[in-house]
C-alpha cells in the first residue's frame, strides 16, 4: 500500500484543492465538498492528511460514518473503510485483496474488542498476538484473558515464546518470559539492554534501533524515538507511541513518511472520537 510521491508539493496542493473544492464523480457518487464537512476537532485532525483517500478514510472511521468511504476508488480499501466505520466484520469477508483484508480483520478485532475475529484470518496466531501485545502496550493488561494465551499455538519453540509473552503480559511479570530477550524487550529495561542484537521468534534480527523503539514504548518516553538512526524505524516509533501510548498530533508531525504520518493522524482522530 506504500505509495511513492511523484509530484512536488505545490502541484499536489493545487490538485488537492481543486479535488476537494469542486468535487467530481467517483464510484458513481459525487465527492463530498470540504464546505459540507462539519468543523469539529476530529475533522480538523483529519484535514491535516495530505492524500484524498486517506483523508476520507480518516473522516469515516473516526466519525463512524461510512458515507465518506464512497470516495475511495479501490474496492478493497472502500470495503475496509466501511468495515472499520461500521465495525461490521461482513465487509472484511468481502475483501479480495490480501493486504486490506488482513488489516480489516486485525484492526476490527481490536477496535471492536472481538478477539475471535482473528479466527478468520490466514494466520490466526499472528493476529492473536497482535491483539494481545497491543493491550500490553496500552497498559490494558487486565483485559488479557487467560483463554487468549491458550489460543496461541505452542507447537514450536518460536510459538512457545509468544505464548510465554502473553502470560507475562497478562500477569505483568517479566520472569514469565523465561529469559527470552524478545519477550523481555516488551518490558521496561535500561538502554544497555539494546547493546546486543537478538532475534525475534520469526528469526529476524532485532537491532539497536528496533530495541530503542521498545524502550520508548515500555518506558513511555517518546524522546527515545529521536535516538533511532533509521528513518523508517524512527517514524514507526513516533507512530506507535502516538497510537498506543499517548495520542499526540505533534508526534505525528515528526514522521517523515507521508503514508505513516497520515496513519498517525487517523489514529489520533479515532482516539479522540472514542473519547
- Dihedral of CA atoms 257, 35, 270, 212 in degrees, nearest 10, equals 20
pLDDT of residue 273: 84
As a whole number, mean pLDDT of residues 226-255 equals: 96
- 198-227 per-position pLDDT tens digit: 999 999 999 999 999 999 999 999 999 999
Residue 124 has pLDDT above 50, yes or no: yes
Q: Write the CB contacts of 153 (distance below 8 Å, at least 6 apart in sequence).
A: 125, 159, 163
C-alpha cell at 124: 490466526
Task: Quote the pLDDT of residue 1.
Answer: 39
Where do the structural domains in the chain lie, given as residue ranges? 1-122, 123-187, 192-261
The more confidently predicted of residues 101 and 23 is 101
- How high is the pLDDT of residue 36? 77
Kindly compute the dihedral angle of the four CA atoms of residues 20, 25, 31, 33, in this order, to the nearest 10 degrees. Answer: 50
Backbone angles phi, psi at 40, to 5 degrees: -115, 160
Reply yes or no on whether the pLDDT at 29 is more than 70: no
Structure confidence by residue, pLDDT tens digits, 127-178: 999 999 999 999 999 999 999 999 999 999 999 999 999 999 999 999 999 9
pTM here is 0.84
Amino acid at each position: 500500500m506504500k505509495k511513492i510521491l511523484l509530484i512536488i508539493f505545490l502541484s499536489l496542493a493545487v490538485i488537492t484543492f481543486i479535488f476537494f473544492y469542486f468535487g467530481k464523480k467517483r464510484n458513481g457518487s459525487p465527492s463530498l465538498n470540504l464546505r459540507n464537512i462539519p468543523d469539529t476537532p476530529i475533522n480538523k485532525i483529519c484535514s491535516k492528511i495530505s492524500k484524498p483517500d486517506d483523508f476520507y478514510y480518516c473522516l469515516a472511521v473516526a466519525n463512524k460514518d461510512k458515507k465518506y468511504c464512497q470516495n475511495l476508488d479501490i474496492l478493497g480499501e472502500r470495503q475496509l473503510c466501511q468495515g472499520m466505520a461500521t465495525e461490521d466484520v461482513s465487509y472484511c469477508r468481502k475483501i479480495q485483496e490480501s493486504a486490506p483484508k488482513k488489516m480489516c480483520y486485525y484492526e476490527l478485532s481490536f477496535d471492536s474488542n472481538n478477539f475471535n475475529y482473528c479466527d478468520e484470518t490466514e494466520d490466526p496466531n499472528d493476529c492473536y498476538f497482535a491483539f494481545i501485545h497491543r493491550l500490553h502496550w496500552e497498559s490494558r493488561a487486565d483485559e488479557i484473558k487467560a483463554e487468549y494465551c491458550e489460543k496461541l499455538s505452542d507447537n514450536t519453540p518460536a510459538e512457545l515464546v509468544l505464548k510465554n509473552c502473553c502470560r507475562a503480559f497478562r500477569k505483568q511479570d517479566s520472569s514469565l518470559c523465561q529469559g527470552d530477550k524478545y519477550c523481555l524487550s516488551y518490558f521496561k529495561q535500561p538502554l544497555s539492554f539494546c547493546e546486543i542484537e537478538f532475534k525475534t521468534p520469526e528469526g529476524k534480527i532485532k537491532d539497536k534501533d528496533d530495541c530503542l523503539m521498545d524502550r520508548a514504548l515500555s518506558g513511555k518516553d517518546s524522546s527515545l524515538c529521536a535516538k533511532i538512526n533509521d528513518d523508517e524505524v524512527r517514524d514507526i516509533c513516533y507512530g506507535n507511541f502516538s497510537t498506543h501510548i499517548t495520542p499526540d498530533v505533534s508526534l505525528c508531525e515528526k514522521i517523515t513518511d507521508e503514508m505513516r504520518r497520515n496513519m498517525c493522524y487517523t489514529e489520533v482522530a479515532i482516539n479522540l472520537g472514542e473519547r
